[in-house]
Structure 1
Amino acid sequence: MAELPVAKTLKEKAFETIKTNIVDGVWEGGTFLSEKALSELLQMSKTPIRSALDRLEMMGLVKLSPNQGVIVQEVSLKKILEIYELRLALETFAARRLTGKLDQRFFDRLDDNLERQARAIEREDIAEYVNWDREFHETIVAALDNEEYTEAMSRLQDKFVMVVRTTFMKNKSRLWSSREEHLRIRDALAGDDAPLAERLVASHIEYVKTIML
């Protein structure tokens, strides 16, 4: 039991380090990296590295080759913005359908999430905040009670954890404003003005696109 936290920490460290090097352009698209090279660079065994590579492949950032190496995939701004359009369509649809129809259990969960967001911001723990940000949005879509929508949202969020985290790292003041937008979305969902809830969700998502352009 005592070894589990260590393993998780190593997996997370491997994931963050490899992802950062890709996002920052240290390893450009087409770069080939072997597990051995990554193991030497990160000073850890191949097990946490393989776990990190699996996650990165799911996000579309790398492609694992048959000989257990990894090829960095090209991730263009155009591709990222295209996926944002999908997220915009999905989340605004959810807001439109759900406003005024959610029970107290849903709002209890959302309120708990918002409290955890605040604590993460107070500690300036960007990684934790991004996790709660992800859960906030996934909780709303999950309330549609449609497995296809829930799975689609999860896949989209996998691709944008990197983008959102990078945005917050560059602008920490955005953390509080992001949470304030979440609060307004929460209150709108509890009301009866579906167009308002839809507009708030759209504005929240569009902001990151504006930052990236």
Structure 2
Amino acid sequence: MAAISLNQTAYEYIHNKIMHGEFLPGSMLSENELAEALSMSRTPIRGAIAQLEHEGLVVTLKNRGILVKEISMKEAMDMFEVIHTFQLYALDHMQTHGDMPDLPKMKKYLELQYEATEQRAYHLYAKYSFQFQYCLVAILGNNSMMKILDDFANKMLLFAITNFQLTPNEPHYRANKLNRSIYEALLAKDFQLLRRIFIETHQVGRERLMRTGRI
């Protein structure tokens, strides 16, 4: 198997373990153990770790191993604020230029989000919820903004999935109702309602994040 393919195999294995909450933040990973689990040498493991480190999901600690990084409250709050700003900017763009996001694609992600909820597949629910929001900002056609969202994606998902794993008895899946209301407001082109949804959701979410550490 080619080296690039081995690197990708190792990356997908470790990435999936992190995103499914099997390697929780604070966990220490071993190159030797990962290589043994995948029946490969440590070279592709190192390539995969370098990619994950670039994405901000792990950090290599000299003579200790690989640490799955924790997403701090400050970092989560910063990302939450940026996404809210992008939402309002996208809304202003819709009102000013008359453009609308890809509603069929948003409907698809909303349906997938609900399916994941029924299957109790929280990692998929969180992924589709983020992609729903991604469609909203995509209307701006701003590559720099989209790159920021791409950079946020793994971290936001990791933060959400970690909270889900640590608080299994708390209410989750809140974005189902939220994204449904956003979609319906978009269909109706009710921009005043949409602005109210964004602002109220931001206020409630910010308070909950500061109070409980959960989004």
> Which residue of the other structure, out of 53, 56, 59, is the alignment partner of 2:55?
59
Q: CA deviation at 1:184?
A: 0.6
TM-score by length of 2: 0.71
Partner Cα distance (1:199, 1:9) in 2: 44
Contact 2:52–2:58 (CA under 8 A) maintained in structure 1: yes
Q: SS of the counterpart of 1:174?
A: coil
Partner Cα distance (1:126, 1:89) in 2: 26
| CA RMSD across the alignment | 3.6
What residue in structure 1 maps to residue 75 of structure 2?
79
TM-score by length of 1: 0.72
Contact 1:15–1:53 (CA under 8 A) maintained in structure 2: no
> Which residue of the other structure, out of 126, 137, 140, is the alignment partner of 1:130?
126
Structure 1 segment 9-158 matched on structure 2, within 5 A: 11-18=11-18, 20=21, 21-23=23-25, 25-27=26-28, 34-40=30-36, 42=37, 44-45=39-40, 46=42, 49-50=45-46, 53-64=49-60, 70=66, 73=69, 75-98=71-94, 101-103=98-100, 106-158=102-154
Q: In 2 relative to 1, CA 64–198 (structure 1 residues): closer, same or farther, beyond 3 Å?
A: farther
Write the deviation string for residues 85-126 of structure 1: whole angstroms up to 9, x where unpaired. Answer: 2222222322333359344x8111111111111111111111
Contact 2:134–2:149 (CA under 8 A) maintained in structure 1: yes
Q: CA deviation at 1:142?
A: 0.8
Q: In 2 relative to 1, CA 34–124 (structure 1 residues): closer, same or farther, beyond 3 Å?
A: closer
More moved, 201-210 vs 141-150: 201-210
Partner Cα distance (1:127, 1:180) in 2: 17
Contact 2:24–2:162 (CA under 8 A) maintained in structure 1: no
Q: CA deviation at 1:84?
A: 2.1
Q: What is the identity, as a one-letter code, of the residue corresponding to 1:187?
A: E
Q: SS of the counterpart of 2:59?
A: strand
Q: In 2 relative to 1, CA 22–59 (structure 1 residues): closer, same or farther, beyond 3 Å?
A: farther
Q: What is the identity, as a one-letter code, of the residue corresponding to 1:14?
A: I
Q: In 2 relative to 1, CA 53–196 (structure 1 residues): closer, same or farther, beyond 3 Å?
A: farther
Q: In 2 relative to 1, CA 166–155 (structure 1 residues): closer, same or farther, beyond 3 Å?
A: same
Q: In 2 relative to 1, CA 51–88 (structure 1 residues): closer, same or farther, beyond 3 Å?
A: farther
Q: CA deviation at 1:58?
A: 3.5
What residue in structure 1 maps to residue 182 of structure 2?
185
Q: What is the identity, as a one-letter code, of the residue corresponding to 2:140?
A: L
Q: What is the identity, as a one-letter code, of the residue corresponding to 2:122?
A: I
Q: What is the identity, as a one-letter code, of the residue corresponding to 1:174?
A: H
Q: CA deviation at 1:173?
A: 4.4
Partner Cα distance (2:106, 2:194) in 1: 15
Partner Cα distance (1:130, 1:77) in 2: 18
What is the percent sequence identity of the aligned residues? 24
Q: In 2 relative to 1, CA 18–125 (structure 1 residues): closer, same or farther, beyond 3 Å?
A: closer
> Which residue of the other structure, out of 172, 175, 194, is the alignment partner of 1:174?
172
Q: CA deviation at 1:36?
A: 2.1
Q: CA deviation at 1:136?
A: 0.5
Q: In 2 relative to 1, CA 72–132 (structure 1 residues): closer, same or farther, beyond 3 Å?
A: closer
